[in-house]
Amino acid sequence: MADNRNSYKGQTIGLEFYESDFSGSISSVDRVIILQDKEVCYTTTSISLLSPGVWGISLNTDEVLYSGDFQDHWILNGGLDKVEKELSITNLMTTTPERSTGDYAYYSKDLLFEVKSDGDLYRILNESSVALKIEAVCLTVRGSLYNEPNYGSNLYKFLFSSSPTIEGDIQAELETQLQIQVPNIKVKRVVVTVADINAYNVKVEFYNTTSSNSSELFSLTNLVSLDQIK
């Protein structure tokens, strides 16, 4: 079995020691100790003479504690000498991809350790998540999110506007964008009222279409300050 210094957990590999690895005479090769950060992870005295000047061990990597980078110490000449070599053992990759391969348009996800077969995490569709999605769309300047030029709203366009229809403009903008960008809700209405100079109260009334009771009406009221949208 050839010298194998890069392997996966579960493999049975061969590690070899050569006469040329030590500058001196060798009377015996007595023990192999495998360490990681000075911790002994495996040891054996079952060493074979594979050919003149070549010794080896057969190693089931499942018997080695941990994974990562190790040092295999070959103890020579009745413990008077040793030679240190290096090997690595890595965990096998799972068949689940590390990144999602789906084409998704939602942003809120839960943090369960379980994943779907395509690597994506399970979606959160409860009322708290929906409320955060609505707020994110309202307060994100459209075009500011890298690689998502259509995400967000154009509320910044109303900065210091003197238009007499500004409340209706905000209402129309949010009704349109929320319905497009939060597809699991049905917007009943958006109510915009003046709170202060360049500040408005926005109340969004909506249905969560993914809820067990999709006819239940929810509302979200938040102070939207156009001075903070830059």
Reported as a single tens digit per residue, the pLDDT across 75-91 is: 999 999 999 999 999 98
Tokens matching residue 67? 């994974």
Residue-wise pLDDT for 102-127, tens only, equals 555 544 444 434 556 666 655 556 67
- Print burial letters for 143-154: b (CB count within 10 Å at least 16), e (below 16): eeeeeeeebbbb
pTM over 0.85: no
**Does domain 6-90 fall into CATH 3.10.150.10?**
no
Contact 89, 68 (CB under 8 A): yes
d(CA 21, CA 95) in angstroms, rounded, equals 39
Spell out the residues 6+ positions from residue 123 whose beta carbon is closer than 8 angstroms to its own: 106, 108, 109, 110
Contact 61, 13 (CB under 8 A): yes
What residues does each domain of the chain span? Answer: 6-90, 94-124, 127-228
CATH of domain 127-228: 3.10.450.40
